[in-house]
A = this chain, B = another copy of it.
Amino acid sequence: MEAIGSRRWAIAEGYIPGQSHGPEPAMTSHETACLLNASDQDARVEITIYLSDREPAGPYRVTVPARRTMHLRFNDLEDPEPVPRDTEYASVIEADVPIVVQHTRLDSRQAENALLSTIAYAQG
């Protein structure tokens, strides 16, 4: 299939709640970038994390294989440094083939979980 998407995306909202309720890991508060690579080539993806009070962190590197999706939890990013909890951030996601990016959060700080999701911003 011909590739769908863009090589450059941004998510201006980012926040990993430090607390959770409910069974792990499905109900752990988390922040996800859902990445779809519908192309026939593996996508090498670089993520840069922007913060409010210091220089950006990253890049974090992942590979999304051809014709696969990856639901990447920011909680799991460890290299070069973990993404801080209870801290506002934003992200820019760049790939060497077109991909599609959607942003989702499960917030389980209270007894009942809340959800948000939005397509990310695609450049060009």
Residues of A near any B CB (own CB < 8 A): 1, 4-5, 8, 10-15, 22, 26-27, 32, 34-36, 38, 48, 50-53, 55-56, 67-71, 86, 88-90, 92, 100-105, 107, 109-123
Q: Is the CB of B114 within 8 A of A115?
A: yes
Within 8 Å CB of A34, what residues of B? 12-14, 88, 90
Q: Is the CB of B104 within 8 A of A116?
A: yes
Partner of A121, one of B5, B52, B69: B5
Within 8 Å CB of A8, what residues of B? 4
Partner of A114, one of B103, B109, B114, B119: B114
Q: Is the CB of A67 within 8 A of B90?
A: no
